[in-house]
Structure formats: structure tokens, C-alpha cells
Structure 1
Amino acid sequence: MNAVVVAVLVMLILSLVRVNVVLALIIGGLVGGVTGGLTLNETIEVFSGGLGGSAEVALSYALLGGFAIALSKTGLPNLLVEGVLGIVHKNGDSTRKKYSKALIVVAILAMACLSQNLIPIHIAFIPILIPSLLKLMNELKIDRRLIASVLTFGLTAPYILLPVGFGKIFQDIIATNMADSGMVVNSSDIPIAMLIPTAGLVAGLLFAIFVSYRKDRGYETKEMEALEQGTRSKRGIVFALISIVGALVVQLLLDSMIFGALAGILILYVSGSIKWKEADELLTEGMKMMAFIGFVMLSAFGFAEVLKETGHVDSLVQQAARLIGGSQSLAALLMLVVGLLVTMGIGSSFSTIPIIATIFVPLAMELGFSPIATIALVGTAAALGDAGSPASDSTLGPTAGLNVDGGHNHIWDTCVPTFLHYNIPLIIFGWIAAMVL
């Protein structure tokens, strides 16, 4: 039995039966390592060795959580939603509520999309904006599964398609690794190749909005002490805005979320927008809010390291190749399914491209796929790791914002909806792209 298949299935099954994702990743990694021929001690050693690779990510999210809580104390997030609250409370008729729902969905979608390209802050905006909107969303009875789907779409579709911001990084990685694997491609062809797979994401988003989650869903509104509005002043709001700009500038200049978040926090404290005596408590609360992401990312890196060490990723592809028998249509489908298994476990499209390209490119060349079709296969297979994976920051980010009050489950309210609405269309539309390009 292939260790990758076993490890991913164990991890997913445990997650679906509500075993904590961190435990599911650890147990899945151990089972996968032993299945792949490693001893238990070797598996533990490899898993532990892989944890160090995510230390920077975990610290980044912890500081972003502290920055989010500090911003909430200035009253800025509350100010952003008061206008919409005024519209809803002024006249509670159903038509106005529909407009308010649409406004919230469109605003969150726009922010998520911009976070990948124009303002490349990735998930940093989620713990700042989403918790402050929860009370309003509860009043409007917006299904949080819809918001999770909207956020995940905005965190994935733009970088897959557009060669700007994170999209440029993603597409550069594709071009570089395909060239290293023997197929030189034109970077300008990558957006064209990814257009059809992205259309699958759009179809999934529209289905989520207008079919799956269009009905009202009630939630219990709970008071969240960490997110209570602070004493608001014009000066505090001004410095809150300055801190956001400062955090973004530092992040872009130093290419570090850690120092970006640190810069934002320091601006708020030095300006007096946040009291020094509250600093320790605020940072602790913020780190608690984002701790879940940090621990999952730590476990995911260890899990991925075990899968790589077994060498069963290569054997998985070889087994699939033996089933193909020269059929391009079957080859495209099996390559995408293999990509799904690999990336669901690792949870990062950027990290899995080198693994997938090394294996898929020679196979695609042997079967006669065109360069642009091969791009579609590699890009789509990598993207499958973002939507639906319990270990992806594109699902962990939405959960961190939507579950601040304990009303949103990571697996059933984020991962399952995003898997159904995005991974299934990605496989279908990715297969179509490979066949027609």
C-alpha cells in the first residue's frame, strides 16, 4: 500500500470524525512513515526534523494575531462596519438585508482577492477584519460556510491566474521547475493555461453563493472580550491606519510577515494608541487567537517531511503511469488525482510544485501533452492543495477569523465546503484544460 495514500486517508478520516487536526496530522504522519518502510523511531525523527521549517510561519501568524487584537482596541474595525450596521438597523426590511448581505460578501471577496496581488498581505487581513463582522453577520443570518468559501476563493484564484504579487511568485516557480524538469515554457503562457482551471473556481464560488449557502443560518452571538471595542478617537484611528500602512511597507521591503506585524504593533504602542500596560495581555490574546494555525502548520511541515522521506510520492506516480497505457485523457485525470493526494497532505501549492513538476513533466512529455497543457496540469495539481486541505493557510486563515467565538468548525465548516466547491471543479476544469490546450 502506498504510504502517501495511507497517510492522507488516515489524516482526512480522523479530521472528519472531529479528531483535532494537529493530532490527525501527527498520527497520519506516523502511520505513513511506518507504511513507507521507516521504523517508528525514524519516522518520529523525520517528523520532528520537519517542524523547524514552519517556525517562521508560526511566529508570523502569532504576531499577526497580536497586531489584529491591538488594532481592534483602536476601534478601527468597528468603525468599518458601523455604516453597514446603520443601514440594517435603520430599516430591517428583507430587501435592505439582502443588499447588506451582498455588500458584505462583495467587500470580503474584494479584500481577499486584493490580498494576493495588489496589496500582497495574504491572510493577514482576516483576523483584523472578520471577527469585527461576526456580530453583523449573525444579525443578518449569513452562513459562515459561505464566507469561508468566499475567503478561500479570494486567497487562491487571483494568484493562480494573475502574474502579480503572489501570482508572480507562483508562476515563476512553475516556469523554473518545469524548465529544470526538461520543458522550457514561456511565462506569458501560464495565465492562459490557468484560465480554464480558474473558471472552475469561479463556477464553484457562484454555486456556493447562489445555491449551497443562500439560505439563512442562525448563530449564537457571544461577547468576545479580546475583541471589545476600545476607546475610539480620531488620533487612534489615524495611527491605526498608519500602522497598517507601516506593516505593509515593512513586510514588502523585508519580505517578512514577522517584522511587518512587529512594525505595526510598535507604531500603535509608541503612538500611545494602545496603552503600554495592556501590551502583554493584548499580544497574549492575539497569539491565542492564531495559535491554532501555528500548531497546524508545524504539524503539516512534519507530515510533509515524512511523506518525502518515504519516497512513495514517486512510486505513486509510477503506479498511476502503469494504469495509463498511453491514454491522455486517463493520464490527465490520474495526474490530477495524484496531485490532489500529495497536495492535500502538504497543504501548500507553492511547496508542492517542485515535487509535482519533477514527476509530471517527463510523464506529460512522454504522453505527448503540449507545453501549455502541461502547465495546466502542474498548476492545477498544485492548486488542489490550497482549497479543502486541513493544513492549508487558505483554509486555516478563514477558520481563524470565523471561529473567534467558537461558532465555526475548521473541518466541516471550512474544509469540506471548500473541497466540494473548489477541488472538484478544479479537477474537472483542469482535465478539460489538459485535453483542449
Structure 2
Amino acid sequence: MNSVIIAVIVVVALSLMRVSVVLSLMIGAITAGLLSGMDVKTIVDVFNKGLGGGAPVALAYATLGAFAVALSRTGLTQQFSNWLIGKVNRNTETGKSATSIKWALFIGLILAGFASGTIIPVHIAFIPILIPPLLHVMNKLQLDRRAVACAITFSITVMYMTFPIGYGVIYLNDIMINNINKAGAPLGFGVTPDIATPAMLIPSSGMLIGILIALLFSYRKKRHYQDVALEGLSENEAPPLMLWQKVLILAGVVAALVVQLWTDSMIFGGLVGFGLVSMSGVIKWREQDHVLTQGIRLMATVGFIMITATGFSAVISATGDVPALVEASAGVIGDNKGMAALIMLLIGLFITMGIGSSFSTVPILTAIYVPLCVSFGFSPMATVAIIGAAGALGDAGSPASDSTLGPTAGLNADGQHDHMWDTVVPTFIHFNIPLICTAWLAAMIL
């Protein structure tokens, strides 16, 4: 069997058995390398060289974690959380339902996710800032955090795969359209950016179906959690802020966004935001190092997994078995156009689940998929739908994807949310399965 398939199965199986995702990725990389004929020394060399690619992302998440902890010291997020808890308590005392607050919370989180990938492109940076202070509200509402994980993953995934705004410009235009045209040039095949959104609307409807099922049916029942003190986040009533402090804190939030957009670096954005919030006096000078350490600890798991995932990705690419996987599938496909679309989508699912990044998967797939799509007579829109969906498949539901790691980092701040069983498995079931169905339908009718 192909080494890529076996490696991904090993990673997912070990992770589901509650083996550390970092260790699972390392074992998966070794498995893929050995099965492809690489010796151990070569595997280690390739893995180590790949690790460097994940360092900027890990450092970015660490600085964002520090920024989140610094903001928590201002007491603003706690005040918002306390206000929501007060609303819940008043509704309970008067016999009113808290359903409206629950749905307002879901809608607010989804809108925040939409904004984080488009008009305010901070990606998952909003999660460690917004989610931990709201955990007590969710506990009071007895909200199933699996539903919250699905809502966040939906919001940060569906926008980039559908609309060319923010990260969608990178995914749809800069990566997918450019790579399709590059691979199709020798065949006289090309696509234009204007067809990307129309082609992806049908596959994206699978994401919408999934979130509706998750919120309305799968996780609608109440789930109990303990109120646990959150390490690194202030639980005490913060002293009243003076006007100049509020101005400086607001400047820190704005500057973090502006610097990130200007430098294209979350690292410097987080550092500038942390510095300005610290200057407001909400953090004592002697506590600076402690707060920074707490922030790093808050996002450490995400950082280490992302670093390890880049090493795993490097080994997978070095095996050369991705093209072999497609070639081996050709015999199964035969002349069946429907089977061809399904096989391409499933291969995309496996590759993205292992690598953990849809943005990194598309360049790998296009060189192989474009000639296949042309040979089977798929239209330009159908080709875009297949490749765009194949790349996005597995982003939700991958143990190493920031679309799942981000929600876990926020929801597990009190240690009561399991990454695999409470984020990865729910998002895989509710998004990947309907996405395969709607993407296949798009390939057949476009």
C-alpha cells in the first residue's frame, strides 16, 4: 500500500488513541520514509530540514498567546464575560430561556471567524483572546464545546475556500488558479479568477450543511463542565482603567492588526500589541517575563504540532509517493468520470489530513490533477471545484491543522476539551463528509 496512506492512517490512529499528536506525526514520518525505501538517517535529515518551516508559525502563536494574556489582565474580556453571565442569571431567575444568548454567542463567534480571515485577517489569533474568558459563560449555559469547535472551524475555513477576500485571495487566486494555469499551460488549458467563487459555492454548501447539523442536532443537548481557574488569565476583578490606559490598550489592539498587515507577520503584530498593552500599566514590570511565559504556555501545543507537521510534510514530499498514489488510482478509475472525481477528492483528503494545510496541499495536487481533469473532460469550473475542495478537505478534521488546533487552544484553556475527540472527530464528521458529497456533485454538474 502507498506510504502516504499508511502514514496518515498511523498518525490519525495513534492520535485517536490519545498518543501525543507531536509523537504521532514523528512516528508517521518515520513510517512513510521507511516504506518508501529511505534509510533512517535520510528520514531524520529530511525531517529536521522541514522543521524550520514551522518555526515562524510557532513563534507567531507564542506571541499571540502572550498578547492574549496581556489583554486578559486589562479585565475587559472578563467584564464582557461577567455581563453575559449576568444576563444568563437574570433569564434564569425570571424563568426566561437562555437560548437567545446561546445563539447570539454562536453567531458572534462565527462572525468573528469570518472577519478573522477577511476584513481583519488575523486568522486564529482571535481565539486565545476571545474564547478563554467566555468559557465560564459556556459552562453556565451548559454549552457543548464540540458545537463551539465546529462553529469556529466552519467560520475560519468556509470563507477562504469560497471568497477571494483576505486569505481567500491567497488560496483561490495566488495558489489554486496560478497553479492550475501553470500545470495546464502545456495542455492548452487555463482558468480565470472570476470562476473561482461560482465553482466553489456548491462544495462550500457542504460546510453549511455540516454546521447546521452540528448546532441543530448533533450537539444541541446540554453538557456539564466544571468551573476551573484559567492559568494565565486574570480571575479577579481588575481595577478601573483610566482613560489614557483604555486609549493605550485600544492602540495596542489596532497596532497589532496594522503591524501584522504591514509586515505580513503575526510575530511582530503580537509583539507590538503586547508591548503597548504592557505600557498601559496593567502588567507590572517585574511580571513581564511571567506573563510572556504564560502566553507561550497557552499556545505551546499548537506551536509544537505545527513545527512537527512541517517535518512530516517534508518527509511525505520526499517519498515521491503522492504522484504514485494518483497513478495507482488510475487503474481503479478506468473510464468512469464519477469515480475519477471521487478518487481525486479522497486523495486530497488523505494528503491534507497528514500535512495539515490546505494551502500547502494545492500545489502538490494541481500538477497531477489538471492533466487528469483534462483527460476526463471536466470543465474549467468543475476542475476548480475538484482541486479547491480536494485541497480544503482534511483541513477540518486534521490533527495538525490550525483550523482544529486553534479552537482547541481556546476551548481547552481549562483542560476540559480533548483535541482529538472534541475537535478533530466532530469537525471531520460534520464537514469532510458533506464536503465530499457536494464537491462530487459540483464536479458532475458544472
Q: Give the TM interval when normalised to the shorter protein.
A: over 0.9
> 1:266 offset after TM fit, Å?
1.1
Do 1:73 and 1:231's aligned partners in 2 also have CA atoms closer than 8 Å? no
Provide the residue aligned with 1:64 in structure 2. 64
1:388-413 Cα offsets, whole Å, 9 max, x none, are 00000000000000001100000000
Give the equivalent residue in structure 1 for 2:397: 388
Which of 203, 214, 224 lines up with 2:209 in the alignment? 203
1:290-346 deviations in Å (ceiling 9; x for gaps): 000010001100111101000000000101122111111000000000000111000
Letter in 2 for 1:49: K
Q: Is the 8 A contact 1:157 1:198 kept in 2?
A: yes
Tell me the equivalent position of 1:285: 294
**TM-score of the superposed pair, with normalisation by structure 1:** 0.98
**1:232 Cα deviation after fit:** 4.0
The one-character-per-residue Cα deviations of 1:195-254 (angstroms, maximum 9, x if unpaired) are 001100000000000000000000111112411244341444433222111100000011
1:175 is matched with which residue: 174, 177, 199? 177
Q: Which residue among 214, 223, 228 is the counterpart of 1:217?
A: 223
- Indicate whether 1:40 and 2:40 are aligned: yes
CA distance in 1, matches of 2:390, 2:18: 27
Q: Is the 8 A contact 1:75 1:237 kept in 2?
A: no
Classify 1:70/1:325 alpha carbon distance in 2 versus 1 (closer, same or farther; 3 Å).
Answer: same
Mapped pair 1:84 → 2:92: no
In 2, Cα distance between the equivalents of 1:168 and 1:181?
A: 19
Residues 17-416 of structure 1: pairs in structure 2 closer than 5 A: 17-92=17-92, 95-172=96-173, 173-182=175-184, 183-229=189-235, 230-235=238-243, 236-416=245-425
Question: Would the alpha carbon gap of residues 225 and 323 (structure 1) be closer, same or farther in structure 2, given more than 3 Å must change?
Answer: closer
Cα distance between partner residues in 2 of 1:405 and 1:80: 19
Q: CA deviation at 1:426?
A: 0.8
Considering only aligned residues, what root-mean-square deviation do their CA atoms show, in Å?
A: 1.1
How far apart are the structure 2 equivalents of 1:220 and 1:83? 20
Deviations 1:28-79 (A, max 9, x none): 1101110011011111111111100111001000000000000000012112
Partner of 2:232, secondary structure, is: helix
Partners of 2:249 and 2:280 within 8 A in 1: no
Q: 1: CA distance between counterparts of 2:339 and 2:25?
A: 31
- CA-CA distance at 1:90 after TM superposition: 1.6
Please give the secondary structure, in 2, of the residue aligned with 1:134: helix
2:430 aligned residue: 421
Bigger shift: 219-228 or 394-403? 219-228
Separation in structure 2 between the aligned mates of residue 195 and residue 225 of structure 1, nearest angstrom: 42
Shift, 1:95, TM fit: 4.1
Q: Percent identity?
A: 49
Question: Can you list the C-alpha shifts for 1:130-155, whole angstroms capped at 9, x where unaligned?
Answer: 00000110011000000000000001
Q: In 2, Cα distance between the equivalents of 1:9 and 1:290?
A: 26
CA contact (8 A) 1:247 1:261 kept: yes
Q: Secondary structure at the match of 2:160?
A: helix
Q: Report if aligned partners of 2:117, 2:167 keep a CA contact under 8 Å in 1.
A: yes
- Runs of 5+ in structure 2 lacking a partner? none
Conservation of the 8 A alpha-carbon contact between 2:81 and 2:136: no
1:9 pairs with 2:9:
yes
- Contact 1:76–1:237 (CA<8 Å) still a contact in 2? no
Question: How many aligned positions are there?
Answer: 437
Residues 310 and 67 (structure 1), Cα distance of their counterparts in 2 relative to 1, 3 Å cut: same
Cα 1:342/1:94, change in 2 over 3 Å: farther
Q: What amino acid is aligned across from residue 317 of structure 2 in structure 1?
A: K
State the one-letter code of the partner of 1:305. Answer: A
Deviation (angstroms), 1:94? 6.2
In the alignment, the residues of structure 2 paired with residue 429 and residue 150 of structure 1 have an alpha-carbon distance, to the nearest angstrom, of 19
SS of equivalent to 2:193: coil
**Are 2:394 and 2:428, in contact at CA under 8 Å, matched by a contact in 1?**
no
Q: Is the 8 A contact 1:76 1:240 kept in 2?
A: no
Residues 346 and 385, structure 1, Cα contact 8 Å, conserved in 2? no
Q: For residue 162 of structure 1, give the secondary structure of its aligned residue in structure 2.
A: coil
Partners in 1 of 2:276 and 2:339 — Cα distance? 56
